Amino acid sequence: MTEQQAAPRLAVLGAGVMGVSITTLALGRGVPVVLVETDPARRARIRARVEHELRTAQLMGVRPDGPPGELTVTAAAADCQGADAVIEAVTEDAEVKAKALAEIDQLTGPDAVLVTNTSSIPVDELADRISRPEKLVGVHFMNPSYLIGTVEVIHGPRTGRPALDGVARLLGALGRKGVHVADGPGFVTSRLLHRMINDAARIVESGQATAEDVDILMQDCLGHRTGPLRTADLIGLDNLVDSLWVLHRRTGDEGCRPCELLLRKVRDGEHGRKSGRGFYTYTAGGWT
């Protein structure tokens, strides 16, 4: 983003793992963000969480020099008015996402781009619930967004060219490369990765190998950067299970039915990094 280019006005819905991650990316690139979160307890922790992530990005050398963008924290979706783009990053539940997008559709003008950060729900399914389906684009940011430089851009059959152009401008400001794919359950990344994670969890469940063994083999033999089960902890096992159910119900693929080990971990509150325990145990300094 050059000095002559004005930073886009960005709003983000939801201060979960992905909402904070996307917000951190934008702020680190000097883009101001209005972050909407209705839960008071979560809203009270937003600034501390974002500051921690910004420091982490700086220490890792992935945050550009320059002042961060301004962060506005609010509980009111109406504060998204005037945004050039609104990124929906609420829980991976089709009804919750559809309601959030429908509300924002009514609050924003015809030129505002609506972005869903869904990892698995078809974009056109969500577009059914808004009055201007041509405004909706899927952009699947990975976690942590400030570290991973490529995103999946999903254009539904009714996505309009102005919306795609708006996303291109937003990704340019965020310093991210978009790879465009057609719509469908799980798109490319989740359709491949989440089924693989489910299979990896089944191997651990059977006692054939430990989580560490699976990850080491996938890293050292096949070049997977972190291993599927450490990746699962980063995604959040609760989010992963939600996504697997979406894939199973919309494709009928039995390989996407969450295995019992994943379901048990979610029931026991072992959600991965964010809860301190998943396939691994996490401390402030890393994982064990």
Phi, psi for residue 268 in degrees, rounded to 5: -85, 5
Which of the listed residues 182, 210, 227 is the one where a domain comes to its end? Answer: 182
Does the residue 282 lie in any domain? no
Q: Is residue 94 part of a domain?
A: yes
Runs of H (alpha helix) within 108-251: 123-127, 161-174, 189-206, 211-222, 228-235, 237-251
286 within domain boundaries: no
Q: What does the pLDDT read at residue 72?
A: 97
Q: What is the pLDDT of residue 6?
A: 73
Same domain (yes/no): 57, 162: yes
Whether residues 95 and 227 fall in one domain: no
Examine residue 237 and state whether it is found in any structural domain, yes or no. yes
Domain of residue 193 covers 189-274
| Residue that terminates a domain, selected from 120, 147, 182 | 182
pLDDT of residue 5: 62
What does the DSSP 8-state code read for residue 16?
Answer: S
Same domain, 247 and 150: no
Q: Token digits for 217?
A: 């083999």
Q: Are residues 21 and 151 in the same domain?
A: yes
If asked whether residues 52 and 177 sit together in one domain, one would say yes
Within a domain: 266:
yes
Q: What pLDDT is stored for residue 267 in this prediction?
A: 98
Residues 41 and 25 in one domain: yes
SS3 per-residue string spanning 126-140: HHCCCCCHHHEEEEE
- Same domain? 154 vs 238: no
Residue 203: which CATH number? Answer: 1.10.1040.10
Same domain, 31 and 78: yes
Sheet hosting strand 113-116, strand order edge to edge = 71-74, 33-36, 10-13, 85-88, 113-116, 136-140, 150-155, 177-182
Backbone angles phi, psi at 73, to 5 degrees: -105, 130
The set of long-range contacts for 162-168, using a CB threshold of 8 Å and a minimum separation of 24, is 162/111, 162/113, 162/134, 163/113, 163/114, 163/134, 163/135, 163/136, 163/137, 164/137, 166/84, 166/85, 166/111, 166/112, 166/113, 166/137, 167/85, 167/113, 167/115, 167/137, 167/139
Residue 249 lies in a domain: yes
User: 221 with 142, same domain?
Assistant: no
Q: Are residues 90 and 200 in the same domain?
A: no
134 and 266: one domain?
A: no
Decide if 280 is inside a domain: no
- Domain match, 170 and 60 both: yes
Residue after which a domain boundary falls, among 128, 161, 182: 182
Averages of pLDDT over each 10 residues, the chain, 288 residues:
68 96 96 97 95 90 85 97 96 95 94 96 96 96 93 96 96 97 96 97 98 98 95 95 96 97 98 96 64
The answer to the question of residue 236 being in a domain is yes
Look at the chain and report how many structural domains it folds into.
2
